[in-house]
Structures are given as structure tokens and as C-alpha cells.
Amino acid sequence: MSSVADNIARIRSEIGPFVTLVAVSKFKSPEQILEAYYAGHRDFGENRVQELVEKAEKLPKDIRWHMIGHLQTNKVKYIAPFIHLIHSVDSEKLLTEIQKQALKANRTIDILLQVFIADEETKFGLNDTECLHLAQKIYQGHFPNVRLRGLMGMATNTNQTQKIESEFLHLKNLFDQLRTTYPDTQLDTLSMGMSGDYPIALRCGSTMIRVGSAIFGSR
Ligand SMILES: *Cc1c(COP(=O)(O)O)cnc(C)c1O
């Protein structure tokens, strides 16, 4: 069995220096996270606020924590003081709360808008129109303590490569459209690709992949 450090090294060599690897550590113990940390890894993703906060308290302070799961408005306050990037912004209500808590914490919070690209009912996210509308509101200055860095999406869980590819390309097109509409902004992050589909996501222009089981083993 390969170690956490070996897995990270292998994936890093596949993705090259310009793509960020977020190690998804949900359900994994602080000890397992430290294995990656001591191998030099700093970006970790969690999908539940409570678990994220508990781990952040125990683990080294230079870890960059990514919130990748559905975020409830009433939980934003727990992560606002330290979160590195929120990938899962899927409503104006949530954005409003992030603005409020970021101001309170006296910082700017980096966010991604989560876009629904799959054909599965269970996945959260904005449609294209809602996404463009929220981006417009952000650039009109309604959320001064929020910095939009890009988009996040999850493809359908299928082994049909072409379907996954067309979903990722859809997100890439939307990302490019935003970058064209709003040049001179910090839109530099396209978070797409997980253990099962990150090679496809990379071909489609991903700049950030979120990988759990291929690093830590399956749950
Ligand atoms: C769990 C999770 C991942 C990682 O999934 P793996 O298949 O284990 O790589 C990526 N993104 C989100 C939003 C997740 O919840």
C-alpha cells in the first residue's frame, strides 16, 4: 500500500506546478493529516464546518483550510476568522452572510461560486444565469470583504468520460466568459476534479483539484 506522502508526490508530479492540489481530509484523523503536512502539504479541504473547526484548532496554524461542502448560513461565523477559500458559495443569502462575518473578522474572504454542472439532483450549485448575476453584484461592490476568485463544480458521478468532459468544459467556458467580462480582477481559480475524474478536469482547464480517496485511501 502506498503512503499518503507517496500519493501526494505522485499526484503533484502529474498535475505540475501551476495546479493546486487540495487534499480532502474529511473523515480523516488529525494524524493522517499530519502525515501529509510533514510531507510538505498545506492545502486541506473539509466539507463540514464542525469537523473543519475541530481540526483547525488541533493542527498547525499554517494549514490553508478550504471549505468545499455545502455551507449553512448560520455556520459561516465559525470559519470566517481563518478560512482560506470557500469553494461552495451557492446563494446570495450565503454571500451576504460571508460579507457580514468577514467584516466582523476584519478580513477579506476568498470565495468561489459553485455552479451546478451535473445531472444529479443531489448536488448543490447555481445555474449559469444565477452565477453571472452574483458575479455582477460582487463587482458592483455589494460585498467589499469578499473576493471572487473563480468557480467550482462537480461532474456527474459516471464512467462516461465524454459526459464528464462536456460538463467540465461547460464550467471552463463560463469561467472564461467571466474573465472576459471582468478583466483586471483576481479570477484565477477553477476548482474542478476529484479522485475519479481529475485527469479529465486538468485537460479541461482546471487550476485546482480536490482529491480525497486517491490520497488517503477509500473511506
Ligand atoms: C469528498 C469530496 C471531494 C473528494 O472526493 P474523492 O472522490 O475522495 O477524491 C471533492 N470535492 C468535494 C466537494 C467533496 O465533498
Provide residues with CB under 6 Å of ligand 1.
Answer: 24, 26, 47, 68-69, 154, 194-196, 210-214
Cell 501529509 found at? 36
| CB-based contact 57:49 (threshold 8 Å) | no
Nearest CA to ligand 1 atom 6: 212
Residue 2 has pLDDT above 90, yes or no: no
Amino acid at 13: S
Q: Is 162 exposed, middle or buried (0-12, 13-18, 19+ CB in 10 A)?
A: exposed
Atom of ligand 1 nearest to the CA of 211: 9
Looking at the chain, the whole-number percentage of residues with pLDDT higher than 70 is: 98
CA of 44 to the centre of ligand 1 (A): 11
CA of 29 to the centre of ligand 1 (A): 16
What does the mean pLDDT of the chain come to? 96
Pocket test for ligand 1, best of 43, 157, 210 (most atoms within 8 A of CB): 210
Residue 35: the pLDDT is: 96
CA of 217 to the centre of ligand 1 (A): 12
Q: In whole angstroms, how far apart are CA 100 and each of 77, 80, 96, 150?
A: 9, 9, 6, 20
Three-class secondary structure assignment of 115-173 = EECCCCCCCCCECHHHHHHHHHHHHCCCCCCEEEEEEEEECCCCCCHHHHHHHHHHHHH
Least confident of 1-10, 118-127, 130-139: 118-127
Nearest CA to ligand 1 atom 7: 195
Q: How many C-beta atoms lie closer than 10 Å to residue 54's C-beta? A: 13
Q: Supply 183's cell numbers.
A: 478583466
Q: How confident is the model at residue 119 (pLDDT cuts 50, 70, 90)?
A: confident
Nearest CA to ligand 1 atom 10: 210
Q: How confident is the model at residue 1 (pLDDT cuts 50, 70, 90)?
A: low
Atom of ligand 1 nearest to the CA of 69: 13
CA of 196 to the centre of ligand 1 (A): 9
pLDDT in tens, 154-174: 999 999 999 999 999 999 999
Please provide residue 92's backbone torsions phi and psi, each rounded to the nearest 5 degrees: -70, -35
Residue ranges in the chain assigned as alpha helix (H): 4-15, 30-38, 49-58, 76-79, 92-104, 128-139, 161-181, 198-203, 213-216
Whether the pTM exceeds 0.95: the reply is: yes
The answer for residues whose C-beta is within 8 angstroms of residue 120's C-beta and 6 or more apart is 156, 157
CA of 142 to the centre of ligand 1 (A): 31
| CB-based contact 85:92 (threshold 8 Å) | no
- Tell me what the mean pLDDT of segment 63-77 comes to: 98
